């Protein structure tokens, strides 16, 4: 059979002139529409207008041009069916052997900050996906190209064999259906948000592959890194890697955890993470001071960890960072001097992203977690606590300094795996207890880690105390103030213990479980 006729209609015209010129040289008749036809004609590529095929003009501002039996019969006819052949001959219809289509730029349109609803809707392609789907369905006979990256390989097959192989057509068809599915998912997501229905009866998401990963959590697991379309500039998926080897699956998860915590702070802050839990968080007048505090919070666990900063890394800070082994340093930027220092370490990854100095973007998004046989979807936890939200429930009110440390600890504890306890003092974490099956166990870990620093520190708990035992433990360690959600049926027991030991305690009314 071979490729004798191609229908070409593209919004993104990258490489299309050269591709069609070469097809024409190989004897392929080019049929085209609108702007694509004008471009090909201007560049001297022989081309036939779609109206010459359909016998019908392009109408309604180009909305209707390829939605015609003369087009879709040429795409959908089963070439080895005698009945289809007879109908095509009787109606004077010709086959279309190759379709080259890419779609109206819906994603680029809605990415514009001032986009109107009308503009978004106008950039929903109808004819393009219809042609793509027709051609892809009939891939036993029809080749279909939706990606300019495939022009060269398709051209080479046509040049050497007159047609593409069935294996190639299957691969291209699969790519088409992925493309149209992603296109429709993006439209669906946009309209669902416009209509205030972000959790509809069917939840469809689409992501673009950034890179294949060497493996997943463990070497026997396959993995890849994907980006959500229109991802914000201060997300890990948009980071620019300045130095070091490729990120691993575990690197990505840990770096994202560090990023979420550092976004909580507007003042200079540094976060060190191991296994998706913070092992040290510090804030200061400068990023240098903040890093010293984050390091001193747990100088053992930070080794081999991920560090995120919300200010540009300068030379002085870089010299400190260089002293230990770190997997990743993530920041809004690095001075030339800092880069010179840090790039001396071959394997360290340096990531630059977004403007984190103002706390980053904290708009609510939806978190998708896969489970066996399905998934669960929830809003991301971007709740921000204000001092006015606090309810003092003890006889003693927290001092101004205690209140400052309580709010600091609360920002951190929401990002620690539950059950979570964080001890804070002097604008840094001094103890972190994470992921234990009971709250006392987490408190013991945090207090043991803090050692002598526990005395005079404050305690943040991600959920309420089911009984007074955690407060008893805190009192013995010399902890002076506590922040927790409250809401237990035994709150009075905890309040009584706090009062007996002169501990100031505040309720937030908000829980921060993290599984």
Percentage helix, strand, coil, to 5, in the chain? 40, 20, 40
Q: Is 276 left (phi over 0), alpha (psi -120 to 50) or beta?
A: left
Place of tokens 């972000």: 198
Candidate list 4, 13, 137, 345, residue with the active-site label: 137
**Measured CA distances, 68 to 53, 77, 130, 411 (Å):** 10, 14, 11, 59
Query: Is 507 in contact with 482 (CB distance < 8 Å)?
Result: no
Residue 266 CB partners (closer than 8 Å, separation 6+): 357, 358, 359
- DSSP state string for 423-439: EEETTEEEEEE-S-SSH
Specify which residues 211 forms β-bridges with: 225
Query: Is 314 in contact with 335 (CB distance < 8 Å)?
Result: yes
Token pair, residue 515, equals 């599984």
Interatomic CA distance for residues 95 and 219, integer angstroms: 49
Candidate list 84, 275, 383, 397, residue with the active-site label: 275
How many other C-beta atoms can be found within 10 angstroms of the C-beta atom of residue 102? 21
Active site residue 137: yes
H/E segment holding residue 128: helix 127-137
Q: How far separated are the first and last CA of the chain, in Å rounded?
A: 58
Interatomic CA distance for residues 163 and 1, integer angstroms: 8
Query: Is 302 in contact with 279 (CB distance < 8 Å)?
Result: yes
Closest residue by Cα to residue 428 from 275, 329, 231, 291: 291
Active site residue 455: no
Phi (first) and psi of residue 501, to 5 degrees = -105, 10
Give the residue numbers marked as catalytic: 137, 275
């Amino acid at each position: 059979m071979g490729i004798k006729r191609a229908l070409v209609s593209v919004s993104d015209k990258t490489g299309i002139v050269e591709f069609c010129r070469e097809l024409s040289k190989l004897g392929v008749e080019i049929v085209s529409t609108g702007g694509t036809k004008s471009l090909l004609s201007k560049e001297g590529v022989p081309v036939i207008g779609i109206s010459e095929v359909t016998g019908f003009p392009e109408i309604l501002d180009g909305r209707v041009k390829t939605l015609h039996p003369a087009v879709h019969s040429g795409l959908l006819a089963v070439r080895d069916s005698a009945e289809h052949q007879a109908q095509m001959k009787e109606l004077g219809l010709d086959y279309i052997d190759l379709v080259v289509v890419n779609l109206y730029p819906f994603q680029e349109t809605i990415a514009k900050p001032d986009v109107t609803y009308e503009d978004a809707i106008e950039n929903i392609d109808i004819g393009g996906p219809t042609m793509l789907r027709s051609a892809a369905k009939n891939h036993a006979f029809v080749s279909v190209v939706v990606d300019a990256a495939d022009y060269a390989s398709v051209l080479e097959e046509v040049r050497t064999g007159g047609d593409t192989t069935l294996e190639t057509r299957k691969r291209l068809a699969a790519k088409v259906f992925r493309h149209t599915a992603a296109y429709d998912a993006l439209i669906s997501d946009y309209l669902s948000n416009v209509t205030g229905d972000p959790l509809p009866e069917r939840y469809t998401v689409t992501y673009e592959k950034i890179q294949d990963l060497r493996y997943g959590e463990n070497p026997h697991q396959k993995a890849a890194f994907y980006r959500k379309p229109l991802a914000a500039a201060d997300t890990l998926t948009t980071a620019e890697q300045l130095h070091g080897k490729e990120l691993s699956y575990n690197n990505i998860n840990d770096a994202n955890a560090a990023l979420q915590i550092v976004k909580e702070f507007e003042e200079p802050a540094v976060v060190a993470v191991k296994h998706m839990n913070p092992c040290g968080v510090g804030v200061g007048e400068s990023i240098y001071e903040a890093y010293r505090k984050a390091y001193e919070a747990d100088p053992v666990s930070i080794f081999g960890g991920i560090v995120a900063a919300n200010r540009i890394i300068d030379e002085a800070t870089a010299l400190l960072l260089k002293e230990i082994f770190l997997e990743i340093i993530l920041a809004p930027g690095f001075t030339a001097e800092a880069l010179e220092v840090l790039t001396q370490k071959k394997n360290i990854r340096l990531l630059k992203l977004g403007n984190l100095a103002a706390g980053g973007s904290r708009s609510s998004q939806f978190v998708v977690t896969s489970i066996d046989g399905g998934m669960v979807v929830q809003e991301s936890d971007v709740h921000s606590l204000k001092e006015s939200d606090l309810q003092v429930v003890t006889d003693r009110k927290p001092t101004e300094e205690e209140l400052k440390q309580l709010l600091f600890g609360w920002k951190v504890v929401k990002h620690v795996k539950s059950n979570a306890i964080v001890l804070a003092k002097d604008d840094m974490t001094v103890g972190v207890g994470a992921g234990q099956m009971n709250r006392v166990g987490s408190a013991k870990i945090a207090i043991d880690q803090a050692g002598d620093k526990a005395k005079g520190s404050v305690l943040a708990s991600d959920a309420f105390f089911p009984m007074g035992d955690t407060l008893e433990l805190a009192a013995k360690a010399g902890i002076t103030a506590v922040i927790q959600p409250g809401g237990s049926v035994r709150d009075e027991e905890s309040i009584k213990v706090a009062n007996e030991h002169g501990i100031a305690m505040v309720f937030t009314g908000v829980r921060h479980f993290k599984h």
